[in-house]
Copies of this chain bind each other. A is one copy, B any other.
Amino acid sequence: MTVATRKQREREEMRQLILEASRSIFLEKGYHLTSIRNIAERIDYSPGTIYLYFKEKDEIFHALHEEGFRRLIAQMEPLQFVSDPFERLKAMGRIYMDFARNNKDFYDLMFIMQAPMNVEAPECWEMGDTALEHLKNVLRDCQAAGRFKGQDIEFLSFYVWSSMHGMCALYCRDRCQAYPDMDADLLMTRGFEIFVQNLEKL
């Protein structure tokens, strides 16, 4: 092993170390309450060192953004064993919703947080595109099976995604409190049921 390759490996390990620390603190305290000094302290390095591995705080954010999509896609794995397209779509919705519930902060990071998305980096959205492509494929399969007649896949997928996202976003940002007598999880579950009822008739 040449020195150069070892150096590169060490560099990658350091990036991972920073990412792991960042993730745990991000998810503990949220984006804005996490500081570079916090992260550095957690891994026993000085603040300046972080900047040798990441250009800025947002670059750490984007790395975690990707990680989130990797996790979501991993959760979708079992879907390939669901043969009926519409059942697959429903299962997909449940997985998406459970992901939001069990990884509130990752979900927030991926779909809600205000972060400079203006970055023209195409690889920044690679994982996100993959996930969206999954949805579109399932919808196409449903269409092949006779559902959603005459619907454009682009618009339909946006509608399906945003319906799910609406509930998850209200959940993540505590707007379910608008129903003080109602458990947020129950709201989500029943909301999803109505949504499925809807899709069945579309």
Contacts and interface: CB of A to CB of B under 8 A. Distances in A.
A163 B12 CA distance: 42
A169 B161 CA distance: 12
A118 B152 CA distance: 41
A158 B197 contact: no
A193 B198 CA distance: 14
A111 B175 contact: yes
Residues of A in contact with B, size category = 35 or more
Given A170-B162, A197-B202, A198-B198, A178 B114 contact: no
A112 B169 contact: yes
Interface SS of A by simple majority? helix
Contacts of A166: 161-167, 169
Interface in A149-164: 151-152, 154-156, 158-159, 161-164
Contacts of A164: 166
A58 interface: no
A178 B32 contact: no
Interface string A159-202: 10111111101100111111100100001001101110111011
Nearest to A129: B178
A53 interface: no
A177 B125 contact: yes
A183 B189 CA distance: 32
Shortest 8 CB-CB contacts between residues of A and residues of B:
A166-B166, A162-B166, A155-B190, A201-B201, A165-B166, A162-B167, A159-B194, A159-B191
Interface of A: 30, 32, 111-114, 117-118, 125, 128-129, 132, 151-152, 154-156, 158-159, 161-167, 169-170, 173-179, 182, 187, 190-191, 193-195, 197-199, 201-202
